[in-house]
Structure 1
Amino acid sequence: MLSKDKIEDFYKYLDLKRKIIGVKFIHSEEEYNNIPTKELDIMASYCYMVKLASENNSFKACNKNFKCNSSAMALGIRSTSERVTSGQQYFSYKTYDSISRAKAVQREITYIEHKIYGVLMMPLEKFDICPDVFIIISNNYQAMRIVQSYTYHNGMANNIKLCGNQGVCSELTARPYENNDMNLSMLCSNTRFSCQWDDSEMGIGMPFNMFDSIYDGLIHTINPMELDKKKEKIVEKMNSINNKLDIQIGKNYFNSSVGYIELNK
């Protein structure tokens, strides 16, 4: 069940600057045509589509909209080629020291293994149905808090894999969908160039069925994990949204145990 109130809280508790992106996979042309959301009117890379959605845009897209062949293959929209699976493609870019290394890495990069016709993408709170995957573009502090929220209910994140290639299409979308688990990405050179992400930005992708547990973990870890200055900002926002969380300033596991060192000036 999609709770717009929880999503709004998520923005405030984490101080996110971008919209959380929801991705719904569309499995047939008929299903695609029956979705009233407007179709993207340009050709673009999938990662650029993610950026558009993070900037409050809603759209659907299919094969004709995909400018980046690698992302279309990663998402099951186009069939993979032997040049890619053999490692030849990325070895030709001089990103690996040998063809065998390129092939070994390619084997570990997650591609959706069945046919996908298209994608429906928009800010998470705009969905009236549950998406398949949600993506958060964050800074490293926000990513830490999300990982802590994950760990609260799920323990160690044992399924994280990243290689710095196909950061948005594979690491943040295909892998969470195929493995039904969270994944992190430092993004990749291509998306940092084409989308102009800030150097400090990274990504977290998860299947939507994990949203409620992540939200609950976030709530339960505010007092032990958050810095007091962050708690004070949350309290200010709570006053504006009439939230009744019991935020306790000065109560966290690190201040009460080891404190911090002040250097002499």
Structure 2
Amino acid sequence: MTYDIIGNELKELLGLKGSPVAVKLVKNKADIPAGYDKVPEKSRHCQFVQDARLTGTKGYATKEEHMCKGGAGVMGIEPIPESVAKGNTYHKLGNFKTAEGALDTVNAIPKSKGSYYASLYSPLETAEFEPDVVVIVATPRQALRLSQAYLHEKGGRVSSDYSGIQSLCADAVVAVRERGVPNMTLGCNGSRKFSGIAEEEVILGIPPKNLPAIAEALKMFKDKWG
């Protein structure tokens, strides 16, 4: 699939701020494409997505570069810290009234079935690899158009499965990669605080296989609805 055309079409047709972001989980260093360097600074998955989206950054992050160990853990880049896996972290932060509620929630969070060496990032229009997921940060209206475009061909429903924690990692990448269908999420305290996801923005993870039909539907919508 040629992502340069589709990436630019999505930006233009939706009026996106920045780019759709290609994300891939790679098994070993040999899977890193030529020209993709390790990210220069330690940060969080949500920030790596934002860097690719807003500044065109391309690169990969191993467990050493991932500061958010919960995010790296659900993506399979390193083991999930015990305090996160048992819900203690989110209970202490005040996300949940009880420890049991915190544990039930983290047990339900999507998690990678395999183990991975690194997460790989690029703006979609310059991606030189086959993404696992394309992450789009959008306004609600843009998310509406994406949802309508996804459903245009066959109908159905769009999932919005989230819990307000581990949003851009578990909800927008792992859930979509494992299930093979889009998912919409609202961000989390961390992604909004540390990576600048704005109040008026939501996040969608989309399987790459769906992008050609989505782009074609968006063109039709533009012709019919303006």
Shorter-chain TM-score tier: over 0.9
Change (3 A) 1:52 1:3: closer
Matches within 5 A, 1:132-147: 132-147=132-147
Secondary structure at the aligned position of 1:89 is classed as helix
Partner of residue 121, structure 1: 121
Partner of residue 200, structure 2: 200
**RMSD across aligned positions (CA):** 1.7
CA offset digits 1:128-167 (Å, max 9, x no partner): 3321110111111101100111111242335430111111
Q: Whole-Å Cα distance in 1 between the matches of residues 151 and 123 of structure 2?
A: 25
Q: Which has the larger radius of gyration?
A: 1
Partner of residue 86, structure 2: 86
Matched to 2:50, the amino acid is: K
Measured after TM superposition, the shift of residue 82 of structure 1 is 4.1
Partner of residue 175, structure 2: 175
Partner of residue 65, structure 2: 65
Partner of residue 190, structure 1: 190
TM-score by length of 1: 0.79
* 8 A Cα contact 1:164 1:186, kept in partner: yes
Matched to 1:122, the amino acid is: S
Secondary structure at the aligned position of 2:60 is classed as strand
TM-score by length of 2: 0.92
Matched to 1:124, the amino acid is: L
* 8 A Cα contact 2:70 2:81, kept in partner: no
Matched to 1:155, the amino acid is: G
Secondary structure at the aligned position of 1:221 is classed as helix
* 8 A Cα contact 1:2 1:130, kept in partner: no
What fraction of aligned residue pairs are identical, expressed as a percent?
Answer: 21
Q: Whole-Å Cα distance in 1 between the matches of residues 128 and 154 of structure 2?
A: 27
- The number of residue pairs the alignment matches comes to 225
* 8 A Cα contact 1:26 1:116, kept in partner: yes
Matches within 5 A, 1:158-169: 159-169=159-169
